Amino acid sequence: MESLKKQVGYASVNYIKDGMTVGLGTGSTAYYMVEKLGQEIKKGNLNITAVTTSKKTAEQAESLGIPLKDLNEVDWIDVTIDGADEIDPQFQGIKGGGGAHLIEKIVASYSNQVIWIVDESKMVNQLGDFPLPLEVIPFGHQKLEKILQEKGYHPETRLTKEGQLFTTDNDNFIIDLHLKNITDPHALAQELSQLPGIVEHGLFLDMVDIVLVGRNGQVETLKAP
């Protein structure tokens, strides 16, 4: 699976052209995209400006000599390349397994084109088996978790491997919803957006243009309708 991630991550750099402003995603597959981009810049093949979606990606990009700017410093983003945790046949997705979905969604929303890069395990018939992450403010998060529990959404505040509360780059917490299946992603997204305390949910709906899938040793290109 790691070789598929590397293959699709490297292949995605072909969509980056000289002079572009590029959104750099976060995660294990996006890592390889950033790695390959750094190689091309070092060779002198590309001259681009990048906007990152997490501190982790920013650190990797800086170490590779990729020029970075804050989102506020650019007019627009030509293309954002990012991973995903689940993608259904309608090209709707769940992101946020790494806890960066708030910034990932902001960056994607200011992009002319969004490309998701995944291995074949992320392609599913229906969203929901992967826990749906919610970035929430710390104030009242336990009350919010109780409300979500009463709704039958099986919430669980995310912890680190050391058992501490997981904190995002924005100093917020993550509540994961163990839903198993999501029959109406748009209705759920609207409901969650109206709950005070939820900064952003991990449903990425009607946002992606192209999905690159590593499957059987090949990179398959899927275009959203």
Q: In this model, does residue 26 exceed pLDDT 80?
A: yes
Mean pLDDT of the chain: 96
Tokens describing residue 96: 């946020």
Q: In this model, does residue 198 exceed pLDDT 90?
A: yes
Annotated catalytic sites, by residue? 104
Q: In this model, does residue 38 exceed pLDDT 90?
A: yes
Domain boundaries, the chain: 2-125+205-216, 132-202
**Cβ count within 10 A of residue 52:** 27
DSSP, collapsed to helix, strand or coil, labels residue 1 as coil
Output the pLDDT for position 216: 85
- The candidate with the shortest Cα–Cα distance to 83, out of 48, 108, 50, 55, is 108
Query: What tens digit of pLDDT does each residue of 133-189 get?
Result: 999 999 999 999 999 999 999 999 999 999 999 999 999 999 999 999 999 999 999
83 known ligand binder:
yes
63 known ligand binder:
no
- According to CATH, the topology of domain 132-202 is Alpha-Beta Plaits (3.30.70)
Output the pLDDT for position 1: 72
Output the pLDDT for position 175: 98
Output the pLDDT for position 225: 83
Largest CA distance in the chain: 56
- Beta-carbon contacts of residue 93 (< 8 Å; ≥ 6 apart): 84, 85, 86, 87, 116, 127, 203, 204, 205, 207, 208
The CATH class of the 2-125+205-216 domain is alpha beta
Element (DSSP H or E) covering residue 28: helix 28-42
26 known ligand binder:
yes
Residue 168: phi and psi, rounded to 5, are -80, 175
Q: What is the mean pLDDT of residues 33-53?
A: 96
Query: What tens digit of pLDDT does each residue of 96-112 get?
Result: 999 999 999 999 999 99
197 known ligand binder:
no
85 known ligand binder:
yes
82 known ligand binder:
yes
122 known ligand binder:
yes
The model carries a pTM of: 0.94
Residue 11: phi and psi, rounded to 5, are -65, -30
Q: In this model, does residue 23 exceed pLDDT 90?
A: yes
